[in-house]
């Protein structure tokens, strides 16, 4: 099992993991072809270029800690499903 598959397995755990880091999310989304665009402050948008419509993933980069809250993990999973990535 590759690193990206391990990250996806970790992301999809139930209940949602409390130790999924921002760096892990960046790596996982990059493996699906998403690019990160920085907004103002801690706002981040992940998007990918596809021929059809892809739901952007809008988040705030967590600070001062770098772990993502479970409620946001659920939103990320939902967007990945809507975009046909998982």
Contact status, residue 62 vs residue 69, Cβ threshold 8 Å: yes
pTM of the shown model = 0.88
Number of structural domains found in the chain: 1
Contact status, residue 72 vs residue 61, Cβ threshold 8 Å: no
Residue 34 lies in a domain: yes
Q: Which domain holds residue 24?
A: 14-82
Residue 48 lies in a domain: yes
Q: What confidence tens digit (pLDDT) does each residue in 47-64 have? A: 887 766 777 899 999 988
DSSP structural state of residue 20: -
Residue 7 lies in a domain: no
Residue 60 lies in a domain: yes
Q: What confidence tens digit (pLDDT) does each residue in 13-41 have? A: 999 999 999 999 999 999 999 999 887 88
The residues, ordered by sequence, that sit 6+ positions from 35 with a Cβ below 8 Å of its Cβ are 46, 47, 48, 49
Sheet containing 43-47, strands listed edge to edge, beginning at the edge strand earlier in sequence: 35-38, 43-47, 57-60
């Amino acid at each position: 099992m590759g690193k990206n598959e391990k990250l996806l397995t970790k992301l999809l755990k139930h209940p949602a993991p409390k130790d999924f880091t921002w760096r892990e999310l960046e790596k996982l989304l990059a493996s699906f072809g998403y690019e990160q665009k920085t907004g103002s402050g801690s706002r981040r948008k992940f998007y990918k270029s596809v021929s059809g419509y892809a739901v952007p993933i809008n988040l705030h980069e967590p600070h001062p800690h770098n772990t993502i809250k479970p409620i946001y993990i659920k939103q990320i999973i939902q967007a990945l499903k809507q975009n046909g990535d998982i």
